[in-house]
Every structure is written in C-alpha cells, then in structure tokens.
Amino acid sequence: MNSSSQTLNGSEIFFECLRRENVEYIFGYPGGSLLKVYETLYDVKDIQHILVRHEQGATHMAEGYARATGKPGVVLVTSGPGATNTVTGIANAYMDSSPMVVFTGQVPSSLIGNDAFQEADIVGITRPITKHNFLVKDVKELAMTIRKAFFLATTGRPGPVLVDMPKDILNSTCEFQWPESVEIRGFKPTVQCHSNQIEKAAHKIAKAKRPLLYIGGGVISAEASEELRAFAISQNIPVTMTLQGLGAFPASHSLNMGMLGMHGTYWANQAVNNCDVLIAIGARFDDRVTGKIETFAPQAYKIHNDIDPTNIDKNIKVDLPIVGDSKHFLASLLEAMPKKVENREPWLADIHAWQEKCPLSYTYEEGALKTEFVIDEVSKQTAGNAVVVTDVGQHQMWTSQFYKFNNPRSIITSGGLGTMGYGLPAAIGAAFGIKDRPVVLFCGDGGLMMNIQELVTAVHHKIPIKIFLINNSYLGMVRQWQELFHKEKYSFTDLGDSNPDFVKVAEAFGCKALMANDSDSAKAAITESLAYNDGPILVDFRVIKKDMVFPMVPAGGSISDMLLARLNPKTMV
C-alpha cells in the first residue's frame, strides 16, 4: 500500500483510482444511485466523461476505444435498468476478449435483496459474461477492488470486469491508500511458453512441407504482429486469419491468404484442408472457422498456442498445446527454428492455383451499386490505412473480403456475439482513441436503427467518423439464409417501406449526409466524406437489394464444401 494517505469519500476514491489507472475517458449515463459520483465529477477536469444516449451505447463505445488503442474502456452507469442495459455490450466484450471495466451504481447496501427501486442483481446477471465481477461491501475495499478490476481486465486473456458500487459506499469516507501492486489468488496467467514445447513445435514446423499459420485476435491483443511477420516471412509460411485476426499480417504481402471459414477465401479453406502442420495462434477454433469439426484440417498435425488454457482442446483436439503469450511464443519459436527447413515453393504454387481458380471478385452492373464496389473503393482511397468498424451482417463479411487490412487494430467488429447495433457506438469510441487515422464505419440499415440515438453523441463531440450506410432495405444476411436454406420464405426481413429517409434523419441529428446510388456518385461521395473532418458524415449507399455474400460454407458443413455462387440467379433482382 502507498504510505501517503488522505480521507476521501467513495466517489472521490473512485476518481483518484481512475487517475492512477491513466483513464482518459468514461462512457456513461447518470442516475439516482450515482448522484454522489456525478456531484464529484462536476469538478473533475482531467478525465473526460462522454454522455451517451443509451447504456448499451456506452459499452460498445468503451469496447471500440479498447480495441482501437489496447487500453481498457471504462463504463459508468446507474443501478437497475442502467446496469441491465449494459448486458449485451458486456457479453460482446467477453466473447471478443476486449478489456473493459464497467462500474454500476447500486441501491444502498441495507436495501439489497429487498426489491428496492431500481435494484437489479447485476453481479448475478453478469457472472457468466465477465472475467470477474465485484460487489463492494466496504468503502475501505473500493480502491483495491478497482485496482483488481483493471488488472483482471488487461492481464492474460483480456475481457470485461464489472464493479457494483452501492450508494452508501460512494457516500462513506475512509483513509485512501492506493495499492501499488496486486495479486489475485488463483489468477496467474502463463506468459512464457514452455521451452520443450517450443522445441517440439520448431522441429515439426521445420519438417512440414505444407505448413499453415492460422491467426486469431489474440495475436493483436498480445501486440505480436511484428513477431508474426518476422516468423512467417523468414519461414515462408502462408498466413490465414480469423475475422478478429485481420490486420495481424499485412494484406499487401503475398503470404497473406485473407480470412478462413464460413465466408473466408476459397484458397484459405483449401489450404486448411490440405496442410500437414497447422499452427493456430491466439485463436479458439470457433464454429464459423471450423465448420464440421470432423473434417477440419484432416491431414494436419495441429499446434495450438493460446494464453487461455481453457481454449485449448475446447473445440478441436490438438497434437501440441502450448500455453503462453503469443508474442513470447512467436519470438521464441523463431529463435528455436533450425536453419534448414523444407522447401515450401510447391505448397505456395498449389495455393496460387486455388487463388486463380476462385478469386474474390465482383461484377459491375449498369445503373446499380454493389456493396463490394463501395468497400473496395474505400480501401483504395484510404490505402488500407483506416480504422474500419463494422456492424453485423453481409457488409461485415464483404468488408473482411474486400478491405485490405495492412495494420493491426484496423478492424473493430462484433465477432463472437454478432451484435447488430454495435457499429455506430463502437466507431465513436474508436475515434476518441485514434486521432491520426480516419475512422470508417460500414453499417447496414437494420443495424444502424438499433443504436441510431448515438448519432447525437457523435455530433455533439464533432467526432469525424465516416458512416457508410449499406442500405439494401433488407436484413440482408438473414434474407440470404432464407433464400438458400429456408425455401425462399422471406419472413420479416424485408424492411421495404418501413425504412426512414436516412439522409433526412441524419440531418435532423445535425449530421452532414449524402446519398449515392451508382458507382460514380459512390466514388465521389467517398472522396468527399474522407475529406470532411468537421464532425460525422453519413453516406446512404443504395445498393443492390438482394445481393449475397460468397464464398459461403453452410452451417454445420465442411469448409471443403463451399458454395461459390447463388443457387437461383433469378432471385438476384
């Protein structure tokens, strides 16, 4: 404990702790149980509070900030409905391993369990979707609890931690002491990989004729992109990535194979089917990657490195498990590699042939606008240097295919939970963290409507995000599944006449807005948007209504059985 001390109330302790954790922004919304906190906040000048318009928006903003910067995002909401409104965002951060600390107000300790006004058992509700959560029972425990919360959120596999603060605790006083260090019994993540396992992996990879690197978001979380590039290039091993792993290896390099899995590239999935050694790093063998488990990488000796031991053998049984930090793993593995390795040129030639057989492409159609064109054009005009945020759906998958990610922390998207409504607030949060690169949002019309109120937050703070609305008047991905697998029964996916005029809506919020419905107007609108930095700008791209994302692996199918085109071209109209 720090020997210097002073008497503070719980609210003052709260802000003093945030200062010690170098917090820049709080994404929050006030309420009755937090009145003392907001009274104190009135005079706080060194931490900026961002007033959101819905608590779910606060969690997505905090996650967008965390994903863009690597720093933990901070949320502050009141008890009861304020706390329960954060549940989706917490679950999203948990699934995608994003560091976040959520502070919730709570009714006075004496009323807990009495169904008091605006009481909810948020600790019980969020226990399955947090790394850990706390109910503070004594003001003397508050500083240590906050210290533990940030430590847990950022150490090992990152994730969300919740701290529930009863009203009486925030009003009580005690002698403030800052814990300089923290230890949590039973929580000691393995950082350094076991040297014997590293040697085994190096020996196996050196002898591999058809090795493949399968990279997840853990490589980006570990800041291990440079080590990945050094290892892959020196060993001449192709790299495929999950949705969250995109950007860990540059798209401009010939060894980059793009994304694998359900909407991955044909050649990446063929490489998985035919590789003899699969090196999985910071990935969890998600079902959208593996497809049918029994047929996933059938010929491969499987090596799996992850800092979270519970991820290993959870979905796919592996031959060589290596627990530890991905940065340490890659650096140690490169050092351990023998000087002589197998010739990989025949393997790379096979991959090139698969690329030639089924490239990612799209067709121009006179008087029509395709989503792929929009994303491709944005990629070209930003030279792959934007921070790209997506909502969830078809546009998300097209972004993974057609935007050329050359840098880590360049894609911010809801992967594991697939949360519609994520994109707009996440883009706002990312823009608070990143000032030297454009922040671009690709969002569907269905997803935008789910948290459109946060446009007020962007306008108020003059956040220069580029909101590229992919407007097809459908819940596009659900419609795609209905066409392919549900007898073309388009049940409640046609938004049709129920959509508003998004340009007018945006302008009503005080946001600059444009509309484009063909390739020429789209190109001009993208150029104008990227040059505009006086606040948010929205472009309503009126794209083909019934377009579909290919390649595609049907749910539960093998990744070797990809659909490469729609079954009934007449439904394209």
Give bridge partners of residue 467 from the DSSP assignment. Answer: 441, 538
HEC string for 502-551:
HHHHHHHCCCEEEEECCHHHHHHHHHHHHHCCCCCEEEEEECCCCCCCCC
Q: Cα angle at 311 between 309 and 317, to 5 degrees?
A: 105
- Check: CB of residue 407 under 8 Å from CB of residue 354: no
- Check: CB of residue 465 under 8 Å from CB of residue 533: no
For the four alpha carbons of 96, 100, 105 and 111, in that order, the dihedral sign comes to positive
- What are the percentages of helix, strand and coil residues in the chain, rounded to 5? 40, 20, 40
* Closest C-alpha among 408, 97, 50, 401 to residue 245: 408
DSSP code of 464?
A: -
Q: What is the torsion angle, in degrees rounded to the nearest 10, for the CA atoms of residue 481, residue 485, residue 491 and residue 497?
A: 40
Q: Cα angle at 30 between 28 and 36, to 5 degrees?
A: 115
Q: Just list the catalytic residues.
A: 55, 117-118, 167, 477
The two tokens of residue 450 are: 């789910």
Stretch (H or E) spanning 77 = strand 73-77
How far is the CA of 155 from the CAs of 55, 179, 184, 188, 521, in angstroms?
A: 25, 17, 11, 9, 47
HEC string for 227-247:
HHHHHHHHHCCCEEECCCCCC
Q: Cα angle at 100 between 94 and 104, to 5 degrees?
A: 100
Residue given tokens 């948990």 in the structure block:
94
